Every structure is written in C-alpha cells, then in structure tokens.
C-alpha cells in the first residue's frame, strides 16, 4: 500500500496551493463574484500557465496527467481556496469530451484541446435539460439530419460557463426515446449562430450559467463530434471524471470549513471562556474531523478507480459522491452553527465555502441520486 502522492503530483499540489493562497484572496473573490464574466480571466490565464489544465488531460492529447489522482489533486486545492473559475466545466467536462477516449482526437479536436490547455479557449457542455434531473442519458433535444445539415431543437438548462464559451458542446438525440443510451450525439456549435438563445444568470456559489434555447439551429454535419448516435460512452466518461473532480473539490472545501471553525472556536470568547472549551462543541468538532477523513478516503477510492471498467468505476464514484454529499452537508451546517451569526455574512470566507459545498450536491446527482445509483450498480 502507498497513499503518498507521486513526486510530480506533490509538486503540482504545492505550486497550486502556494499560488492560490498568495493570489486568491477573499477580496479578489468577492469582486469576481459580482463581475459580468463571473470569473477572473487573469486567474484563468495564470492557472493555465501553471500547467493546471494540462494536468487534467492525458499525454496522448497534449496534457501531462489526466488520471484520477491528477484530477483529485488539482480539485482538492481548488476547493480548499473556493475557486470559482470554470475549471470543471471547461477543462474537465469539455476537455474529456474532446479527448474522446474511444479513439484519437481528430485534427480539429486536437487543435481545440491545445488551445484549451493553453487557456485560450472557453468551452461549456450543454447537456442537462428541464426534465433530465440527474439522468445522464435523458436527452429530449432532437437532432434531425437534412442533407448535409443537422437541425437541433430543444432546451438545455443551467449550462455553466455558457455565456463565456467560445464554443458549446451540445448533446442531442438523433434516434430513440429520452433516457436511451443509443442515439445520442455531440455537436460543437458557435453560440452566436442563428437559433441559439442564451438567458444568463449568476450562480449562488459563483460563476455564471445560462438557459440555452435551441430553436431549429442548422449545423453542418461536420460539427458532430465522433460517431452519430454513439456519444453515450463519451458523455458517461466525461461525467465520471467531472464527478471525481467535484468530490475532491468538495473535500477541499470541507477541510477549509473545518479549519475556519476550529480557528473560530479557539479565538471566540463567550460567557468569559473560549467557546472551544465547551465539551458539547468539542465533540462536534471531533465528529467533523472524523467525517472529513471518511470523505478523503471516499475521494481516494473514486479517483483510484476512475480508469476501471465503467461498472466498477461508477460504483465507486456513486459511493464517494453519496458520502461526500452527506458529510459535506453536515460539515457545512455544523460550521455555520458553531460560528453563529458571523457565518451568515457574505463577506466572511466561510459563507462562500459553505455555498460551494452545499451546491456541489446539485451537480450530476445529489446524495439520494447517488445512493440509488449505488444500489442499482450493486444489484447488477
């Protein structure tokens, strides 16, 4: 057994942690949250220069990492600092979709990947729909072939980073019924073309998203990524990688919430004593620390099984996300309660961190959804 990070990953973790603790201040953060872009273009460029995006992608497609532990190492640091830049959506989701993993990328895909790694491209994955909830293949958006064109009609909901994206990767159904694995395709589209309408809003935990309406969007057949109707594998793999990233990010945020809470309990006086000297509160901190260790182990399990066969991979991911969902909620709520009123104020660091933790559950499946997945995968 060896639970140490490799030397390369240790260096990645150190440089990222140093960069974020130097540069990612609460003040920068609050400015970013209210900015029209929803993230800092400067920070994005600097993260790319640090090699962070490359670390999330495999050497075969121009990166220098891309394994489960690369992803978890990067995202734990992003979570620890409460980073709102769209690394998950742009780099992990869209990067994984482009990298394909069931064949080498085409020249066009590779060019986009190179630009992505260099921090020169913003992308967004338009996949979720009003009725899909967290079902991975529940796609009602239709793609109808007309000669050498394809016509897309449907609605994509809460598409993160859509407004900033130079290109959208849109899922659509060419055949079959909502929920079928067969019949799904991916299209690379310019959000400025006719028939695409974006309605944007800020997100509670930072960043921006849009409702994307597709009203008879005419595309060339060549905008399709990969084989027609066979995108389910690609989508599921990309989502699996994103779920490992999200679980690790939440773990990092849980550690920050716990640290801030311990700092507070050992400085705040009430009734003439440090509140950390009350045993009732000490026990609650002890439970938080136990939960964080459990979450860490769950993230290690998921990251370590990311390259396994889909069934094994997804079972570990569902387990990790269920556990992180449950323990994350507990850490967030306990951190607020143990702080008292100060935790409720927008300008205190904890407020942002707890929002990241709680709202992470609303991506790709909350704890209940993950429990159902785990039960299904265990029965299969």
Partner 1 sequence: MDLNYSTEELAFREQVREFLKTQLPKDLSESVRIGRTLSKDDHDRWHRILHGRGWLAPTWPDTYGGCGWNAVQRHIFEEECCRAHAPRVVPFGLTMLAPVLQKFGSDVQRNHFLPKILSGEHWWCQGYSEPGAGSDLASLRTRAVRDGDHYVVNGQKTWTTLGQYANWIFCLVRTDPNAKQQEGISFLLIDMDTPGIEVRPIILLDGTHEVNEVWFTDVHVPAENLVGEENKGWTYAKYLLTHERTNIAGVGFSQAGLEAVKRLARQQMHRGRPLIENPHFAARLAQVEIDLMAMATTNLRIIAAAAEGHAPGIESSMLKVKGTEIRQEINDLARRAAGAYALPFASEAVIGDNSALAPPEGTEAVAAQYFNNRKLSIFGGSNEIQKNIIAKAALGGRA
Task: Please name which of 298, 288, 294, 200 lies closest in space to residue 243, comparing C-alpha atoms.
Answer: 298
Contact call for residues 174 and 324 (beta carbons, < 8 A): no
Where residue 201 falls (left for φ over 0; alpha for ψ -120 to 50; beta otherwise) is: beta
d(CA 105, CA 311): 25
Candidates 82-90, 92-100, 109-117, 338-346 — which segment interacts with partner 1 by CB under 8 A?
338-346
130 binds partner 1, rule: CB under 8 A: yes
Out of 240, 336, 357, 377, point to the residue binding partner 1 (CB under 8 A): 336
Q: What is the DSSP letter of 65?
A: -
211 binds partner 1, rule: CB under 8 A: yes
Task: Please name which of 319, 306, 324 lies closest in space to residue 76, comparing C-alpha atoms.
Answer: 324
Q: Give the number of other Cβ atoms within 10 Å of residue 254's Cβ.
A: 29
Residue number with CB closer to partner 1 (149 or 376): 376
Out of 139, 172, 244, 343, point to the residue binding partner 1 (CB under 8 A): 343
- Residues 260-319 contacting partner 1, CB under 8 A: 269-271, 280-281
329 binds partner 1, rule: CB under 8 A: yes
CA distances from 372 to 128, 316, 351, 377 (A): 19, 13, 30, 9
354 binds partner 1, rule: CB under 8 A: yes
Out of 25, 131, 220, 222, point to the residue binding partner 1 (CB under 8 A): 131
Site string for partner 1, 170-199 (x = CB under 8 A): --------xx-------------------x
Out of 77, 243, 366, 377, point to the residue binding partner 1 (CB under 8 A): 366
CA distances from 173 to 2, 65, 177, 193, 223 (A): 44, 32, 8, 20, 15
64 binds partner 1, rule: CB under 8 A: no
Residues that bind partner 1 (CB under 8 A): 128, 130-131, 133-135, 138, 157-158, 160, 178-179, 199-205, 209, 211, 269-271, 280-281, 329, 333, 336-337, 340-341, 343-347, 351-352, 354-355, 358-359, 361-363, 366, 368, 371-372
């Amino acid at each position: 057994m060896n639970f140490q990070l490799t030397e390369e990953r240790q260096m990645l973790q150190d440089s990222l942690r140093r960069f974020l603790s130097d540069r990612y201040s609460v003040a920068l953060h609050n400015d970013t949250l209210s900015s029209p872009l929803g993230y800092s273009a400067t920070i994005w460029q600097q993260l790319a220069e640090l090699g962070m995006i490359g670390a999330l992608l495999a050497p075969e497609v121009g990166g220098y990492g891309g394994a489960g532990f690369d992803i978890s190492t990067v995202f734990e640091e992003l979570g620890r600092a409460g980073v709102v830049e769209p690394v998950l959506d742009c780099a992990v989701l869209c990067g994984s979709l482009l990298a394909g993993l069931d064949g080498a990328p085409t020249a066009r895909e590779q060019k986009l990947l190179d630009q992505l790694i260099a921090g020169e491209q913003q992308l967004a994955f338009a996949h979720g729909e009003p009725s899909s909830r967290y079902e991975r293949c529940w796609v009602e958006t239709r793609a109808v072939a007309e000669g050498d064109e394809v016509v897309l009609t449907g609605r994509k909901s809460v598409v993160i980073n859509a407004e900033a994206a130079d290109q959208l990767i849109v899922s659509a159904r060419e055949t079959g019924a909502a929920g079928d694995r067969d019949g799904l395709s991916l299209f690379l589209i310019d959000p400025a073309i006719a028939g695409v309408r974006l309605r944007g809003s800020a997100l509670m935990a930072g960043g921006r998203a849009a409702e994307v309406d597709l009203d008879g969007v005419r595309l060339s057949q060549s905008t399709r990524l990969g084989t027609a109707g066979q995108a389910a594998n690609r989508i599921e793999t990309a989502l699996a990688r994103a779920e490992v990233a999200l679980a690790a990010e939440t773990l990092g945020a849980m550690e920050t919430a716990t640290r801030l809470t311990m700092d507070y309990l050992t400085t705040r006086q009430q009734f003439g004593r440090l509140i950390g000297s009350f045993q009732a509160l000490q026990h609650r901190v002890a439970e938080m620390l136990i939960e964080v260790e459990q979450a860490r182990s769950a993230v290690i399990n998921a990251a370590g099984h990311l390259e396994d066969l889909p069934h094994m991979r997804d079972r570990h991911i569902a387990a990790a996300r269920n556990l992180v969902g449950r323990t994350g909620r507990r850490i967030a709520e306990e951190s607020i309660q143990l702080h008292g009123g100060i935790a409720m104020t927008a300008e205190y660091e904890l407020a942002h961190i707890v929002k990241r933790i709680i709202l992470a559950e609303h991506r790709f499946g909350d704890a209940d959804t993950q429990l159902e997945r785990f039960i299904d995968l265990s029965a299969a």
